[in-house]
């Protein structure tokens, strides 16, 4: 009874307040390593990158065609230009082009001295040793300028950037062989629950397989952190205490699933309180209301709920941005869009909901979203079928077909 009163007295934090509170309590890990270009993929850049060269390093052609001098371009009619040589990518023409002359040129080849304009080969009538070009071309057409992409001295990348395939290419374009990146965060994770069995073990009466350690593995692995899988911990205060203590000494962040509500076998919050500090534990969101956030020693602690969808939704909304901050990521843009929802959605006002949705295009090519169906927090297939969260604000009291809703796509191409 007392517990119920305490529970009622604890104000539910809004999702935004909870996110802010979490981020305010996270510090970026110390430590850097220098890695070869390919090893830096999915790591966080730990320095600004200044260009020491111009890219491209010289004016060059954007087309296969002919390099000409714009002074020769005819204002009306046509002109004939003598073709005096060739400039290929990697094999420049080493002479100078005079008035009345053109040089055959390929994409990426150096623009010869005396030329400033490229005529696409499709726009030139080729005769034996000359070309005919007509009016309508302009000075500078199809010329890529020196330094147009990156200039010597430019700050090309800022510290805190996630390194994606584009950055690997940029490092290579600049000729930088080794790049300083943040060290990886060490994350320990485990499941709590007497009912949990690991894959490979037979299921007894009242037991289920531990799926959260697998979804957590997947979500953490994608963040490119160093993983420490501590298995399943029994609903037993001493076992939970020991696991917390061990985890907090070996990891920068500890993630547990289950045991955060107010059931008789829920020891996570109390143990966290005993060994460290609890910052908060109840958030006005669905799925995933109970959520233990705090600290043990220097390790950040995240206790996500046991229900499989709640575990994933709270991970994506709270734990992922927190770990990204810890990893040193500065630009943490998450795409959301307003899209008409074609399914009626049931919801009570009060908590922000992350329903599972399927984005698609209708027959007119317009983007729409539909519900995955039953939204129970134990229905993991709803996450598997979904390609987005449908985010319904706390005050929303239901959606009728055609209403605009905010969606957060699960992934994009990069």
* Interface contacts to ligand AMP, rule CB under 6 A: 191, 193, 195-196, 208, 210-212, 257-261, 263, 266, 305-308
| CB closer to Mg ion, 40 vs 314 | 314
CB of 191 to ligand AMP, least distance (A): 4
| CB closer to ligand AMP, 257 vs 279 | 257
CB of 156 to Mg ion, least distance (A): 49
Find the residue with minimal CB distance to ligand AMP: 306
| CB closer to Mg ion, 303 vs 328 | 303
CA dist list (Å): 348 to 309, 371, 395, 403? 19, 16, 8, 16
- Options 5-13, 165-173, 299-307, 395-403: segment touching Mg ion (CB under 5 A): 299-307
CB of 203 to Mg ion, least distance (A): 16
Cα separation, 296 vs 280, in Å, equals: 14
| CB closer to ligand AMP, 77 vs 204 | 204
| CB closer to ligand AMP, 92 vs 305 | 305
CA dist list (Å): 50 to 12, 151, 269, 315? 47, 9, 47, 35
| CB closer to ligand AMP, 163 vs 284 | 284
378 close to 307: Cβ distance less than 8 angstroms: yes
Pairing of strands 367-371, 290-296: unpaired
Residue 343's binding partner, choosing from Mg ion, ligand AMP, none, with beta-carbon cut-off 5 to 8 A by kind? none
Cα separation, 264 vs 374, in Å, equals: 28
| CB closer to ligand AMP, 130 vs 207 | 207
- What backbone phi and psi angles, to 5 degrees, belong to 171? -55, -45
For the window 183-212, what string marks contact with Mg ion as x by the rule CB under 5 A?
Answer: ----------x-------------------
Cβ burial of 176 (10 Å; 0-12, 13-18, 19+) is middle
CB of 192 to ligand AMP, least distance (A): 6
Residue 134's binding partner, choosing from Mg ion, ligand AMP, none, with beta-carbon cut-off 5 to 8 A by kind? none
Residue 160's binding partner, choosing from ligand AMP, Mg ion, none, with beta-carbon cut-off 5 to 8 A by kind? none
Residue 396's binding partner, choosing from ligand AMP, Mg ion, none, with beta-carbon cut-off 5 to 8 A by kind? none
| CB closer to Mg ion, 211 vs 224 | 211
CB of 399 to Mg ion, least distance (A): 32
User: What is the DSSP secondary-structure string of 207-276?
Assistant: -EE--HHHHHHHHHHHTTPEEEEEEEE-S-HHHHHHHHHHHHHH-SEEEEES--SSSTT--HHHHHHHHS
The pair of structure tokens assigned to 307 is 């229900």
308: contact with Mg ion by CB under 5 A: no
Q: Which of 65, 92, 112, 258 binds Mg ion (CB under 5 A)?
A: 258
- Options 58-66, 177-185, 255-263, 284-292: segment touching Mg ion (CB under 5 A): 255-263
174 close to 55: Cβ distance less than 8 angstroms: yes
| CB closer to ligand AMP, 160 vs 306 | 306
CB of 296 to ligand AMP, least distance (A): 19
CA 287 to chain centre: 23
Q: Is the dihedral of CA 228, 229, 231, 232 positive or negative?
A: positive
Residue 69's binding partner, choosing from ligand AMP, Mg ion, none, with beta-carbon cut-off 5 to 8 A by kind? none
The torsion angle over the Cα atoms of residues 17, 20, 22 and 28, rounded to 10 degrees, is 180
Burial 200-226 (b: 16+ CB within 10 A, else e): eeeeeeeeeebbbbebbeebbeebbbe
Place of tokens 């935004």: 16
The pair of structure tokens assigned to 238 is 């001493």
CB of 206 to ligand AMP, least distance (A): 10
CB of 309 to ligand AMP, least distance (A): 10
Cα separation, 341 vs 300, in Å, equals: 37
Smallest CA-to-CA distance from 46 within 32, 67, 26 is with: 32
Q: Rule CB under 5 A: which residues touch Mg ion?
A: 193, 258-259, 306
């Amino acid at each position: 009874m007392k517990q119920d009163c305490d529970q009622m007295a604890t104000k539910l934090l809004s999702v935004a307040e909870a996110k802010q509170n979490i981020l305010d309590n996270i510090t970026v890990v110390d430590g850097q390593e220098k890695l070869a270009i390919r090893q830096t993929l999915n790591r966080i850049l730990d320095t600004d990158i200044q260009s020491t060269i111009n890219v491209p390093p010289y004016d060059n052609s954007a087309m296969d065609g002919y390099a000409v001098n714009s002074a020769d371009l005819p204002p009306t009619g046509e002109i004939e230009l003598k073709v005096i040589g060739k400039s290929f990518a990697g094999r420049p023409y080493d002479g100078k082009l005079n008035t009345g002359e053109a040089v055959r040129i390929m994409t990426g080849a150096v623009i010869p001295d005396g030329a400033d304009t490229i005529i696409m080969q499709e726009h030139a009538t080729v005769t034996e040793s000359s070309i005919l070009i007509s009016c309508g071309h302009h000075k500078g057409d199809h010329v890529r300028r020196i330094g147009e992409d990156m200039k010597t001295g430019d700050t090309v990348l800022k510290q805190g950037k996630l390194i994606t395939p584009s950055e690997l290419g940029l490092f290579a374009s600049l000729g930088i062989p080794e790049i300083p990146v943040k060290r990886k965060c060490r994350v320990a994770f485990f499941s709590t629950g007497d009912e949990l069995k690991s894959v490979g073990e037979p299921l007894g009466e009242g037991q289920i397989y531990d799926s959260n350690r697998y979804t957590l593995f997947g979500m953490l692995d994608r963040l490119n952190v160093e993983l420490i899988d501590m298995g399943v911990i029994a609903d037993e205060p001493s076992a939970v205490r020991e696991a917390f203590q061990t985890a907090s000494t070996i990891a920068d962040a500890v993630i547990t699933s289950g045991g955060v509500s107010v059931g008789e076998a829920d020891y996570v919050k109390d143990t966290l309180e005993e060994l460290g500090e609890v910052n908060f534990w109840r958030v006005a969101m669905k799925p995933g209301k109970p959520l233990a956030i705090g600290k043990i020693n220097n390790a950040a602690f995240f206790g996500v709920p046991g229900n499989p969808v709640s575990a994933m939704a709270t991970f994506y909304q709270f734990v992922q941005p927190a770990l990204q901050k810890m990893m040193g990521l500065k630009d943490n843009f998450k795409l959301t869009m307003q899209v008409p929802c074609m399914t009626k959605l049931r919801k009570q006002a009060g908590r922000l909901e992350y329903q599972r949705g399927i984005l698609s295009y209708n027959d007119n090519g317009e983007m729409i979203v539909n519900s995955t169906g039953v939204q129970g927090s134990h229905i993991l297939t709803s996450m598997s079928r979904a390609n987005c969260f449908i985010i319904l604000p706390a005050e929303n009291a239901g959606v009728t077909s055609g209403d605009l809703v905010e969606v957060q796509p699960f992934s994009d191409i990069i």
